[in-house]
Amino acid sequence: MLTTVVIRAIRYEIGQCVPLCDLVGDGLSVEEAGQLLDQGIVGVSVLERPLAQAMEACIRESVQSAGISAEDIDAVVLATESFAALFEDDGPSTVGPFRNIRNRIFLFLYRLGIRKASVLCATYGACANLLQAVITAEALVGKGLSRNVLIVAGEKFGAPRARLMPEAGSMAGDGAAACIVSGEASQKEDAFRLAYVGLAPYQQVDATIDRNKMLLEMFRAMRNAAADCYEACHLQPEDFRWIVPGDYNTVTSVTHGKLLGFSPDRIFMKNVGQLGHIPFDPLINLANLTHERLIAKTDRVFLFLCGPVSCGAIALETI
Give me the pLDDT at residue 168, please.
63
Give me the pLDDT at residue 2, please.
60
Task: Assess whether 223 and 294 both reside in one domain.
Answer: yes
Cα–Cα distances (Å) from 93 to 104, 109, 156, in that order, read 11, 20, 21
Residue 189 burial class via C-beta count within 10 angstroms: exposed 0-12, middle 13-18, buried 19 and up: middle
Residues of the chain with pLDDT under 50: 1, 90-96
Task: Assess whether 83 and 149 both reside in one domain.
Answer: yes
Task: Confirm whether 173 is domain-assigned.
Answer: yes
* Number of structural domains the chain divides into: 2
Task: Assess whether 18 and 111 both reside in one domain.
Answer: yes
- Residues whose CB falls within 8 Å of the CB of residue 236, separated by 6 or more in sequence, listed in order: 230
Give me the pLDDT at residue 186, please.
78
Q: Contact, 211 vs 192, CB < 8 A?
A: no
Give me the pLDDT at residue 94, please.
41
Task: Assess whether 74 and 139 both reside in one domain.
Answer: yes
Nearest-angstrom CA–CA distance, 178 and 31? 36
Which of 151, 182, 213 lies at the terminal end of a domain, its last residue? 182
Give me the pLDDT at residue 1, please.
45
Which of 182, 205, 230 lies at the terminal end of a domain, its last residue? 182
Helix ranges (H only) for 144-249 are 160-163, 211-233
Task: Assess whether 290 and 242 both reside in one domain.
Answer: yes
Task: Assess whether 210 and 111 both reside in one domain.
Answer: no
Q: What is the pTM of this model?
A: 0.92
Any idea what the CATH number is for the domain that residue 165 is in? 3.40.47.10
Task: Confirm whether 1 is domain-assigned.
Answer: no
Give me the pLDDT at residue 91, please.
45
Domain enclosing residue 229, as ranges? 192-318
Task: Confirm whether 225 is domain-assigned.
Answer: yes
Mean pLDDT of the chain: 90
Task: Assess whether 175 and 57 both reside in one domain.
Answer: yes
Task: Assess whether 206 and 263 both reside in one domain.
Answer: yes
- Residues whose CB falls within 8 Å of the CB of residue 22, separated by 6 or more in sequence, listed in order: none
